[in-house]
Amino acid sequence: MWVGYNNAGFLGSHRSIVLTCPLRTSFVSQWGRRELGCGHVSSSVKAVLLDESKEKIRLPKVDMWSVHKFGGTCVGTSERIKNVAEVIVNDGSDGKLVVVSAMSKVTDMMYDLIYKAQSRDDSYIAAADAVFEKHRLTATDLLDGEDLASFLAQLHDDVNNLKAMLHAIYIAGHATESFSDFIVGHGELWSAQMLSYVVRKSGLDCKWMDTREVLIVNPTSSNQVDPDFVESEKRLEEWFSRNPSIMGALLRARQVTIWTDVNGVYSADPRKVVFGANVLHPRTIIPVMRYDIPIMIRNIFNLASPGTMICQPSMNVSEDDQKLDSPVKGFATIDNVALVNVEGTGMAGVPGTASAIFSAVKDVGANVIMISQASSEHSVCFAVPEKEVKAVAEVLQSRFRQALDAGRLSQVAIVPNCSILAAVGQKMASTPGVSATLFNALAKASINVRAIAQGCSEYNITVVVKREDCIRALRAVHSRFYLSKTTIAMGIIGPGLIGGTLLDQLRDQAAVLKEEFNIDLRVMGITGSRGMLLSELGIDLSRWRELMKENDCTADSNVASCYYDWLRKGIHVITPNKKANSGPLDQYLKLRALQRQSYTHYFYEATVGAGLPIISTLRGLLETGDKILQIEGIFSGTLSYIFNNFIGTQSFSEVVAEAKQAGYTEPDPRDDLSGTDVARKVIILARESGLKLELSDIPVQSLVPEPLRASASAEAFMKQLPQFDQDMAKERQKAEDAGDVLRYVGVVDAVRQEGRVELRRYKKDHPFAQLSGSDNIIAFTTTRYKEQPLIVRGPGAGLNDRRRIFSDILRLASYLGAPS
């Protein structure tokens, strides 16, 4: 087994150590140009082991080699180191190469030593002792006898040497990069040494390799290195000549397994998508891609999890199956980003402007994460970490002072508090419409995109959004590309007839919505006039009626007045309640303005036409450039039922009683017969059409006899109503004599800027005369539909409000990212 150090990214995250099963390695530090440094190794060990083109190298000859990489949390304690050793021992491969990071938190402790020393803080000595003690205690728990004595002796020498170096840094008040790398890299050395001793205790042949003796790299810019394969291979051959226990040729590893503290590679950060870990450095992939070696991501704390395999698609996968896969494989986000925008008309066509900008940014050591430039060349926009934006702004202001003063550049603008969202997938390049789907999902979620970037390879689309919008944006696009379910947490206010049947529908449709539409609807709260039920995980809708009986608290009956605050706090509202949109005009205008400006949705289709698409039809007409002349309709299912059945010899009071018995009316039928409900619908449609009317502006013909409007109860009203049947019978007779029928309608006259509610007569061949049951009918007369009005007709009273609300819930889910 080998133990070795790895640090620039070929085998994983920053600053690691390598271990393999019949040989072992440690770490490498960079001295000068070629010796590998503590901060610059990751690729080299694996790259050497996997490079089969250099046939002269004589390496251990085995049939199967596997490579393992363990992160810092995997070796964070003595118990975890034992677990890692057990995983290594249980691997049945003939040869094993194992890479381990420093124990968790140790790298931070080592950097703290340097910071304290160069700050001339005498506590660096105590901090170094704490590092020693942490490893001494761990080793004492893991080792015994000669192994423990040998490790502690080496640890003691290492820490003493580090104290001497830290003292030099203390005197100088500064630490060079080489000194820092050398000091910090000891964390990997110690964890690898301890692990190698533990593996050896199991009886496994294990060799220690100090890769500083083997691996050579050439430093490049930006703290990166490139491995020198030829020289490293020579040194590797020399190392094996000094350790001749096993000889032969290593061709390639069969698999690389990276062990971490998550179950695999997620398609997005699970902490943001649901209510991943940094596993792979980009350079980790380069050598394994070259030889089609699979990478397995496993969770050391959950061995039962199969993990994630990163490899070429199987030859057995059909082309049709591959087409069914989402073209986007994952989403990445970067928080705490600021946008820098350099713009001015003097930039267009001037060579070297972009070079000067990024040269200045490089001078302050800032990392440019994303670049975006329009074809007009009028501006260059780029993103940098927020902690670096102040230095970037200052250097650009200084570098371009003359151009700014002369007006060739108009400004260097900073947009703080941003996040980057990137969609990634190889198949994005061959799939039309990926960008459209991405931006459609963001638009439906009311996400404003500040900047966009895409390379010509089309493997990545990057957008910049407000930091506060990042999680919502990620959830929207993640679910839109079928990578997760769209989860909607709901509260139901008013579990009466409509609310109760809606809850039953949600219960019955939950499984279908999850499986077919990727929507996870969870009712988190139900509140009525006498009780409230809450659940953090979602209420069991099969028992909601039973559970509601066990609760007793009072809910606010004036629900509509809460809409504004809810929307302002980011809570979407779906309602059949007409009071908010038909209340005082200034409050309505304030509510609609907030809806347009905020990132929340306010759906109220059910306020006018029960289950009919009246609001959406009206908006569709207006949005396509049509002009409303008049809207006329039978808006009350209750009154539609009453006048459809007010025929023959049946009295008006008998029809009302029949409607009440059938459940069409409110508990007090006067609420329907007064016409106020129809007037509210007229006001809503008038305001949607652009008219600024108050409810008091609408004349309403009430069907409640004047003497009965003050009746003490609904029962008293119904008992006295027959006394006034003659009045309605006379109206019916007049209509029949003229070949007409009676209908109770609401009218919006956009030309005269008015509305009204009244009992009207229509010819028997008129569409309004053709209704049956509780049907509603609405006629839109517009400049486009002037000769023949656009008619919308369908069921009115009953449970159709519930169906419309359910439809709005699905529409909201689509806006939030669910496939539509």
| DSSP symbols for 506-558 | HHHHHHHHHHHH-EEEEEEEEE-SS-EEE-SS---TTSHHHHHTT---PPPS-
**pLDDT tens digits for 626-646?**
999 999 999 999 999 999 999
Amino acid making up residue 651: S
Amino acid making up residue 787: E
Q: State in Å, rounded, how far the first CA of the chain is from the last one.
A: 54
Task: Determine the angle formed by the axes of helices 106-118 and 124-142, rounding to 10 degrees.
Answer: 160
Residue 708 sits in the same domain as residue 774 = yes
Full-model pTM? 0.58
User: Is the pLDDT at 275 greater than 70, yes or no?
Assistant: no
Residue 468 sits in the same domain as residue 534 = no
- Beta-bridged to residue 463, according to DSSP, are 421, 452
Please identify, among 482, 497, 513, the residue that sits at the C-terminal boundary of a domain: 482
- What is residue 315's predicted lDDT score, i.e. its pLDDT? 56
CATH number, domain at 496? 3.40.50.720
Residue 646 sits in the same domain as residue 709 = yes
- Give the helix/strand (H/E) hosting 192: helix 186-201
The answer to whether residue 27 is domain-embedded is no
- What is residue 64's predicted lDDT score, i.e. its pLDDT? 64
- What is residue 590's predicted lDDT score, i.e. its pLDDT? 93
112 pLDDT band, cuts 50/70/90, is very high
Report the distance separating Cα 621 and Cα 616, nearest Å.
9
User: Is the pLDDT at 513 greater than 80, yes or no?
Assistant: yes
| Tokens 């179950």 belong to residue | 263
Please identify, among 482, 513, 541, the residue that sits at the C-terminal boundary of a domain: 482
The answer to whether residue 526 is domain-embedded is yes
**E strands along 584-723, which residues?**
602-603, 628-634
The answer to whether residue 79 is domain-embedded is no
User: Is the pLDDT at 447 greater than 60, yes or no?
Assistant: yes
- Beta-bridged to residue 227, according to DSSP, are 217
Tokens of 119: 């700050």
Q: How far from the centroid of its chain's Cα atoms is residue 409's Cα?
A: 37
The answer to whether residue 218 is domain-embedded is no
Residue 499 sits in the same domain as residue 448 = no
Residue 764 sits in the same domain as residue 624 = yes
Please identify, among 458, 482, 506, the residue that sits at the C-terminal boundary of a domain: 482
Least confident of 197-206, 287-296, 441-450: 287-296
Q: Which of 46, 69, 163, 681 is catalytic?
A: 681
Q: 276-300 burial string, b = 16+ CB within 10 Å, else e?
A: bbebbbebbeebbeeeebebbbbbb
Burial of 385 per CB tally in 10 Å (0-12, 13-18, 19+): middle
CATH number, domain at 355? 3.30.2130.10
Residue 541 sits in the same domain as residue 677 = no
Q: Are strands 295-299 and 308-310 parallel, antiparallel or unpaired?
A: antiparallel
Residue 521 sits in the same domain as residue 469 = no
- What is residue 611's predicted lDDT score, i.e. its pLDDT? 78
User: Is the pLDDT at 494 greater than 80, yes or no?
Assistant: yes
Residue 457 sits in the same domain as residue 514 = no
**E strands along 578-637, which residues?**
602-603, 628-634
* Spatial contact of 623 and 593, defined as CB atoms under 8 Å apart: no
Tokens of 134: 């942490």
Over residues 466-470, mean pLDDT: 92
- What is residue 91's predicted lDDT score, i.e. its pLDDT? 86
Over residues 465-484, mean pLDDT: 83
Residue 538 sits in the same domain as residue 621 = no
The answer to whether residue 684 is domain-embedded is yes
Report the distance separating Cα 550 and Cα 544, nearest Å.
10
Over residues 296-311, mean pLDDT: 85
**pLDDT tens digits for 20-66?**
332 223 332 222 333 443 332 222 222 222 233 333 334 444 446 78
Number of domains in the chain: 3
- What is residue 50's predicted lDDT score, i.e. its pLDDT? 29
The answer to whether residue 811 is domain-embedded is no
Residue 675 sits in the same domain as residue 729 = yes
User: Which of the two residues, 570 and 719, has the higher pLDDT score?
Assistant: 719
Over residues 795-815, mean pLDDT: 76
CATH number, domain at 660? 3.30.360.10
Question: Is position 163 annotated as part of the catalytic site?
Answer: no
The answer to whether residue 107 is domain-embedded is no
Report the distance separating Cα 24 and Cα 246, nearest Å.
13
Tokens of 493: 């206010």
Residue 345 sits in the same domain as residue 382 = yes
- What is residue 234's predicted lDDT score, i.e. its pLDDT? 85
Burial of 731 per CB tally in 10 Å (0-12, 13-18, 19+): middle
User: Is the pLDDT at 723 greater than 70, yes or no?
Assistant: yes
Report the distance separating Cα 250 and Cα 233, nearest Å.
12
Residue 539 sits in the same domain as residue 629 = no
- What is residue 532's predicted lDDT score, i.e. its pLDDT? 87
Q: How far from the centroid of its chain's Cα atoms is residue 12's Cα?
A: 26
Nearest to 652 by CA among 679, 680, 672, 678: 672
User: Is the pLDDT at 89 greater than 50, yes or no?
Assistant: yes
Q: Which domain holds residue 340?
A: 328-482
CB atoms within 10 A of CB 720: 14
Burial of 713 per CB tally in 10 Å (0-12, 13-18, 19+): exposed
- Beta-bridged to residue 520, according to DSSP, are 487
Share of the chain above pLDDT 70, in %: 83
Burial of 730 per CB tally in 10 Å (0-12, 13-18, 19+): exposed
The answer to whether residue 131 is domain-embedded is no
- What is residue 820's predicted lDDT score, i.e. its pLDDT? 56
- What is residue 409's predicted lDDT score, i.e. its pLDDT? 86
